[in-house]
DNA sequence: GTGGTCTAGACCACC
DNA sequence: GTGGTCTAGACCACG
């Protein structure tokens, strides 16, 4: 379900967090679905339970999942999350475009590039 | 010339590196201009000379500057850099757009956003 | 009669206890009224009977109900409870006001707030 | 500087977090003051460094402090925090008053109590 | 069985 | 020296 990239410089718990965020936002995991238990995911990734716990804590803090002690963790309703994530995404786009302006990259040039790349595929 | 943000989570040397890259790409520092000496910059920023040394090493490695033993460091020709930087920038754009596709953000939506934001100001 | 909130971080038995305390203090359940049996409540809430047992034990310990072996549990006289609960409530108010003093919140400010909020509605 | 209460049911890291929040809000720790290092505080409290780290992570997440890797943690500007904390406090007051209304406790009764208690001393 | 907390140690990057 | 991450264990409360 999840693959770790040990060459990645980012900490493991962050990789796990980000992977699940993608799974939830893309609809693979739906509202109410139960997450794998901390221990089971830890063993299946050959990782310490603490590391998974930390990843789940971050996901809960960001409202992607909610946790019932002794029962497990479950996917939250994502509707409100979606708009928030979009806002965050456009913020990062702004940052990148600002950097791009130093390199004299125009909005039109950007549009041509992304249209041609055809990421919808 | 350069201001450090101690609240920034990135290491100091990385902030210095990035700052100079911006200065060079934006044309404030031109080809052949001499960089401040490691020691003078270190004292003016109240920072360990090792930190500046590391930043300069990174700049040299990325071909932004070249060092002449006993004379100092100088800004490289930016023409070749520019295309390289652009390629890198578009690569990061692709990454971001790929993330955006999960959130169902279309190229047109992106274009509307960046045109309206008017980052040229 | 009772709804559980699984997203609530508090244990189930505590939610049940608190719910019944509210029902008793507010007069919905009156002195001598019989409580639902442990097993029937457990099945209607889809919860382990142990959990309900624990909630009832806490209620009995706090003198909200009394149990007659083989007959069931019944609501106690609330007059004495009332004064005890009030004392406890004012104790918690004192704690909160003490915290508030750190934030420079004055008694007058508090009075204005709660009068305006009109919680009697 | 800080005393732990082992009889307290709350986790240690939470006690530490709360203690520092009070110290910062009450002005004992001022903007820019450096926090004790993770390791030094851990040894002086006879507690594992991880536990302190966790407390500091929470404080940083709540914008009470900011951390510079390799240099230490420092107290943030509290002006914006103050209003946020007040809003949170009044929210908790509302909750308590709502509970109180079940016990037929009126705003006037509350005001008389807190005025008499004279918590400003 | 589940998650929540904690300890005792380790390694790394940064300064 | 500092903080950041991780491991390998342990104990607890809850259901």
Could you tell me the pLDDT band of residue A16, with boundaries at 50, 70 and 90? very high
User: CATH top-level class for C12-76?
Assistant: mainly alpha
For residue A93, what is the nearest residue in chain B, using CA coordinates?
Answer: B96
Beta-carbon count within 10 A of D93 CB: 21
Question: Helix (H, G, I), strand (E, B), or coil: what is residue D89?
Answer: helix
Instruction: Mark D1-33 as b/e (b = at least 16 C-beta within 10 Å).
Output: eeeeeeeeeeebbebbbebbbebbbeeebeeee
- Contact between A51 and A42 under an 8 Å Cβ cutoff? The reply is yes
CB contact under 8 Å between C103 and D86, yes or no, is yes
Taking the Cβ of residue B120 and every Cβ of chain A, the question of whether any pair is shorter than 8 Å is answered with yes
Tell me: the pLDDT tens digits for A53-72?
Answer: 999 999 999 999 999 888 89
* pLDDT number for residue B54: 93
Chains C and B in direct contact, meaning 3 or more beta-carbon pairs closer than 8 angstroms: no
Whole-model pTM? Answer: 0.84
Whole-number Å distance between alpha carbons of A37 and A39: 5
Could you tell me the pLDDT band of residue C10, with boundaries at 50, 70 and 90? confident
* pLDDT number for residue A19: 92
| Burial category of B69 from C-beta neighbours within 10 Å (exposed 0-12, middle 13-18, buried 19 and up) | exposed
Mean pLDDT of C68-96: 91
Residue C29 CB lies within 7 Å of the nucleic strand F: no
Domain boundaries of chain B, sorted by first residue: 12-76, 79-117
**Looking at the predicted structure, is the pLDDT value of residue D94 above 60?**
yes
Residue D53 CB lies within 7 Å of the nucleic strand F: yes
* pLDDT number for residue C118: 63
Calculate the alpha carbon distances from B99 to A75, B108, C67, D33 in Å.
20, 16, 60, 40
**Looking at the predicted structure, is the pLDDT value of residue D67 above 80?**
yes
CB contact under 8 Å between B94 and A120, yes or no, is no
Minimum distance, in Å, between the CA of residue A40 and any CA atom of chain B: 27
Mean pLDDT per segment of 10 residues, for chain B of length 121 residues?
80 92 91 93 90 93 90 90 90 93 92 79 49
What is the CA B79 to chain-centroid distance, rounded?
Answer: 15
- Contact between A38 and A52 under an 8 Å Cβ cutoff? The reply is yes
What would the CATH number be for the domain defined by D12-75? 1.10.10.10
Mean pLDDT of A105-111: 92
Percent of chain A with pLDDT over 90: 64
CA of D43 to C1' of F2 (A): 15
**DSSP letter assigned to residue C5:** -
Lowest mean pLDDT among A38-42, A88-92, B50-54, D113-117: D113-117
**Looking at the predicted structure, is the pLDDT value of residue A121 above 80?**
no
Task: Write the DSSP string, A76-91.
Answer: PP-HHHHHHHHHHHHH
């Amino acid at each position: 379900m999840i693959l770790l990239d040990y060459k990645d410089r980012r900490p493991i718990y962050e990789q796990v967090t980000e992977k699940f965020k993608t799974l939830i936002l893309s609809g693979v995991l739906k509202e109410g679905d139960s997450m794998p238990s901390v221990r089971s995911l830890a063993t299946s990734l050959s990782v310490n339970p603490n590391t998974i716990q930390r990843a789940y804590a971050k996901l809960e803090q960001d409202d992607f999942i909610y946790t019932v002690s002794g029962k497990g963790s479950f996917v939250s309703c994502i509707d409100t999350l979606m708009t928030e994530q979009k806002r965050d995404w456009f913020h990062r786009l702004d940052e990148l475009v600002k950097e791009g302006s130093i390199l004299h990259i125009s909005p039109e040039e950007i549009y041509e590039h992304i249209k041609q790349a055809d990421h919808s595929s």
